[in-house]
Structure 1
């Protein structure tokens, strides 16, 4: 430890960061359950830089690489079907397009780099862009933008700050000098020739304050808004067919990859800052209290292949997962760690990325469904019939979507491969997905029980009314049955008189039926009183007279 405390600057030979940003998509039509939001981006146009990414499994077999195969076999069959679809077998021919993967990926290729100025007077850091993607999920109003950046020969403190500051959708507060709290001073998207395509506006405090005051929703930083176009923020005044709203807070889930010359040069404080993604700091000073970090290694570190000062016995790679973050650190001299396709860097970009994506998508789906229930309840007005009907329709749609989400996207395990399985379990536990799922399932069950009980209550009321009508109609039925239908000799009357009498009798019978229905509840109470042998005759008479009493006003 003394060696580490007296060290010089630590250089990160290779650095990667992947940002995920789960967003909720606003339904375009309330009467439609399944919205295909991606179809709006599939239309080429001058304001649309996105294009759909062709699946490696449906492209040229000659381009199918070993890393695609390694990625595929890491997952269990039911996860493979979600990620890659059914394939070209008999089942896919029988089911047609429904056998395709429910995940659609769109990519834009006009952004080639990003320039990040961490401090007001600091030197900017330029990173290259590997991918800017959008992940859409069939049957759920969720999109997950993913941005992958990479660089080389950076100081450890710089990479710590980039991991900590880069993925900020909007500032949580402002420093005394006007910069957005926890945010870079400036972020600029760069074209291939270095032209600035868009830049951040974290320092424009009035914009964020006025937007939140007006819309009760945080404004999104300009460079992130630009990156997602033609999608627009839900409360924005801009026109857009696809509208989104944040699901969680301002900090985007992040993945980090660092290749160092000497992993043993990192102190425990360095490991904590990387594992929990905090800002830079002194190598010998912990960012939090010792008591808080007492179980850091047990809770956040996957040390299956990590042993300090192990020499060349193995790669000495450490994986750290906090739910919000996933960080991989290893030696730059190990080709098995740094190889872009077949090494751990390739696994970080593909297998571990998918694990991270699945875990955060599942939580986003649960939050989206929970939000739908809250919105449905907030719009309910029990005094208005139309509001009640709309509430029931919304709840039933949400119940159906939850059922399909449960059977299609909810996994307890995604792999039999020990490392992938354990990391997915760590991610889910830190995100609290199981507790959120149980809570949502309880809410859904309560809503379903309410709808069923309300339906049964209405059916019971209808049965009571029909029973009352039947009971009092029985008098006329028996009377005509005893005396016959020809008590009055209508056959001998003239035709005009017969028609008049038929109309009058029809009106009388209809009025009697409607009147009986309006008095069905008090008449039912009267019948209950008559059937109660313990009630005195006076109480039964009161129940009969109560049929014509006016109900008390509320």
Structure 2
């Protein structure tokens, strides 16, 4: 792929004069869910979402296949058939009558979706003295995944008639879980000045607190993990942060850093006016700037088109011959840009805007689910290892149980959620590969698999070592018990004339002999390791007799 001819700086419009006719941004936030019951592998966290009481705003959403037949539209069909069968089974389940189950019932989808409808808009103040921008909220969802302790909140905002610079700034600033640092004026670095969730009547439901530096500093100092901004914390309730002091049955912790993965859809009035610097800012979700100046060095961006752009349907200067759509991804972002005058691009049912919200969204969701699950499994292995104390038997027992459970979860993840291909359609196939490559999921998968193998080999070797020790101890007991066996065999079983003794004395003697034999057995077991060393010394022809006697006395003198 060669670099396409784009307008030069002198021939282009400034970003604050380019119009964005339609704008969408979808934020995904992979979070790890903490186990609710110890020793249970499959934690059905979604079942607890209905336990939040009357104030719980989340309600489970039935998929289109289980809902009203009149609501099943052509776009649902197109979305379904674009994926390969094993991906379809994960996303949509299987229908009735096509399973091997005795009752003939189908298998549900691995996804559970919950939605809240009280948040209808968002007001974003980008700068301290700038006018706020009000956008609509199309969806606020929670995606749970069967057999994975992962949840992904999804927020979709929509706007119209924005200038390009404002759209770029929203993409860059809005998806921040917490501030990475603070500016001199007290605002959170790279964060909006203020974010407010709005209800149906325009009332403010929650607002951000990026400027509350003391809150974030104190939380990290106390819990050694960052806290999230107030408006995000409010949005996720009744789920609560794992390290907070709030009560909640569904507790989450962060898996990655403060910048949330984002998808963006922009329908522009004049796509041909974008410069290479504009494309780089959109593709890498960089802050707005001069359209004639690249946001990063030329050397760093030398392979931008090859690594980040899907240009199968993009040809600058083609006029009206093509729809002229460009898709860009960088792992943490996926951006679709096209002409706002093209009906095929802006149609929300059969056009690319509809595909962006459904097919491309699912591709983006699957790639981030895979990475989140791998990070979750890796974290579990680290936590299990950190709790291991080889001097304490109970920690060894818990460690083995946790590792075995993680091994089983990884095996099921590998066969249910890990795909090398998800579609035969060119766009979905190639974009899935690009996203997976940028996220480094393949490398992470190999690392986690190697860690799991190492842990499994450790458990196997430890089991074999314990079995070998048990065999050695039993062998020692058998060998020393052989002395008594030979003696009784030579002199007969009845060395004493028991029939001539009263039965009460016989019972007493039986009890005493049983106690003595049992004590001798356990004493031999206690000394079995030292006795095994003594037997090794006796069988070693290279040792002198003195060394063999020393090994015998070491049975009692060596600690």
Give the TM-score category using the shorter length: over 0.9
Q: Which residue of 2 aligns with 1:168?
A: 176
1:528: how far off?
1.7
Q: 2:258 aligns with which of 242, 250, 268?
A: 250
TM-score, structure 1 as length reference = 0.97
Q: Which residue of 2 aligns with 1:191?
A: 199
Whether the aligned pair in 2 keeps the contact of 1:142 and 1:364 (CA below 8 Å) is yes
Q: Which residue of 1 aligns with 2:470?
A: 462
Q: Secondary structure at the match of 1:218?
A: coil
Q: 1:122 aligns with which of 130, 136, 140?
A: 130
Q: Secondary structure at the match of 1:99?
A: coil
Kindly indicate whether residue 107 of structure 2 is the aligned counterpart of residue 83 of structure 1: no
TM-align CA RMSD: 1.4
Q: Which residue of 2 aligns with 1:418?
A: 426
Kindly indicate whether residue 333 of structure 2 is the aligned counterpart of residue 337 of structure 1: no
Q: Which residue of 2 aligns with 1:287?
A: 295
TM-score, structure 2 as length reference = 0.96
Which has the higher mean CA deviation after the structures are superposed, 249-258 or 41-50? Answer: 41-50
Q: Secondary structure at the match of 1:491?
A: helix
Q: Which residue of 2 aligns with 1:42?
A: 50
1:59: how far off?
1.5
Q: 2:367 aligns with which of 348, 359, 365?
A: 359
Whether the aligned pair in 2 keeps the contact of 1:4 and 1:266 (CA below 8 Å) is no
Kindly indicate whether residue 13 of structure 2 is the aligned counterpart of residue 7 of structure 1: yes
What does the per-residue CA deviation read over 1:209-267, in whole Å, with 9 as the maximum and x for residues that have no partner? 11111111111101001111111111222211111111100000000000012211000
1:496: how far off?
2.0
Q: Which residue of 1 aligns with 2:458?
A: 450
Q: 1:550 aligns with which of 517, 535, 558?
A: 558
Q: Secondary structure at the match of 2:162?
A: strand
What does the per-residue CA deviation read over 1:137-184, in whole Å, with 9 as the maximum and x for residues that have no partner? 011110000000111000000000000000000000111111110000
Q: 2:536 aligns with which of 514, 517, 528?
A: 528
Which has the higher mean CA deviation after the structures are superposed, 384-393 or 267-276? Answer: 384-393
Q: Which residue of 2 aligns with 1:301?
A: 309
Q: 1:23 aligns with which of 31, 34, 39?
A: 31
1:543: how far off?
2.0
1:4: how far off?
6.0
Q: Secondary structure at the match of 1:7?
A: coil
1:472: how far off?
0.8
User: What is the CA–CA distance in structure 2 between the aligned matches of 1:126 and 1:112, rounded to whole Å?
Assistant: 11
Q: Which residue of 2 aligns with 1:142?
A: 150
Which has the higher mean CA deviation after the structures are superposed, 424-433 or 477-486? Answer: 477-486
Distance 1:360 1:4, change over 3 A: farther
What does the per-residue CA deviation read over 1:49-78, in whole Å, with 9 as the maximum and x for residues that have no partner? 011111101112222100000000110000
Whether the aligned pair in 1 keeps the contact of 2:98 and 2:104 (CA below 8 Å) is no
Q: Which residue of 1 aligns with 2:4?
A: none
User: What is the CA–CA distance in structure 2 between the aligned matches of 1:335 and 1:146, rounded to whole Å?
Assistant: 27
1:89: how far off?
2.1
User: What is the CA–CA distance in structure 1 between the aligned matches of 2:223 and 2:52, rounded to whole Å?
Assistant: 31
Q: Which residue of 1 aligns with 2:510?
A: 502
User: What is the CA–CA distance in structure 2 between the aligned matches of 1:331 and 1:45, rounded to whole Å?
Assistant: 46
Whether the aligned pair in 2 keeps the contact of 1:114 and 1:189 (CA below 8 Å) is yes
Which has the higher mean CA deviation after the structures are superposed, 438-447 or 305-314? Answer: 305-314
Whether the aligned pair in 1 keeps the contact of 2:97 and 2:106 (CA below 8 Å) is no
Whether the aligned pair in 2 keeps the contact of 1:11 and 1:154 (CA below 8 Å) is yes
Q: 2:385 aligns with which of 374, 377, 382?
A: 377
1:533: how far off?
2.8
1:5: how far off?
3.9
Which has the higher mean CA deviation after the structures are superposed, 245-254 or 233-242? Answer: 233-242
Q: Which residue of 1 aligns with 2:322?
A: 314
1:90: how far off?
3.4
What does the per-residue CA deviation read over 1:25-66, in whole Å, with 9 as the maximum and x for residues that have no partner? 111122211111111213473320011111101112222100
Kindly indicate whether residue 464 of structure 2 is the aligned counterpart of residue 480 of structure 1: no
User: What is the CA–CA distance in structure 1 between the aligned matches of 2:106 and 2:471, rounded to whole Å?
Assistant: 44
Kindly indicate whether residue 117 of structure 2 is the aligned counterpart of residue 109 of structure 1: yes
Whether the aligned pair in 2 keeps the contact of 1:4 and 1:264 (CA below 8 Å) is no
1:313: how far off?
2.0
User: What is the CA–CA distance in structure 2 between the aligned matches of 1:222 and 1:312, rounded to whole Å?
Assistant: 47
Which has the higher mean CA deviation after the structures are superposed, 232-241 or 297-306? Answer: 232-241
Q: 1:261 aligns with which of 258, 269, 288?
A: 269
User: What is the CA–CA distance in structure 2 between the aligned matches of 1:194 and 1:415, rounded to whole Å?
Assistant: 42
User: What is the CA–CA distance in structure 2 between the aligned matches of 1:45 and 1:519, rounded to whole Å?
Assistant: 61
How many residues are treated as equivalent by the alignment? 551
Q: Secondary structure at the match of 1:141?
A: strand
User: What is the CA–CA distance in structure 2 between the aligned matches of 1:51 and 1:30, rounded to whole Å?
Assistant: 27
Consecutive unaligned residues of structure 2, counting only runs of 5 or more, are 1-6
Q: Secondary structure at the match of 1:91?
A: coil
1:540: how far off?
2.2
Q: 2:278 aligns with which of 252, 260, 270?
A: 270
Q: Secondary structure at the match of 2:148?
A: coil
User: What is the CA–CA distance in structure 2 between the aligned matches of 1:261 and 1:29, rounded to whole Å?
Assistant: 54
Q: Which residue of 2 aligns with 1:348?
A: 356
User: What is the CA–CA distance in structure 1 between the aligned matches of 2:223 and 2:422, rounded to whole Å?
Assistant: 40
User: What is the CA–CA distance in structure 1 between the aligned matches of 2:486 and 2:384, rounded to whole Å?
Assistant: 51
Consecutive unaligned residues of structure 1, counting only runs of 5 or more, are none
User: What is the CA–CA distance in structure 2 between the aligned matches of 1:183 and 1:47, rounded to whole Å?
Assistant: 30
Kindly indicate whether residue 399 of structure 2 is the aligned counterpart of residue 391 of structure 1: yes
Distance 1:271 1:4, change over 3 A: farther
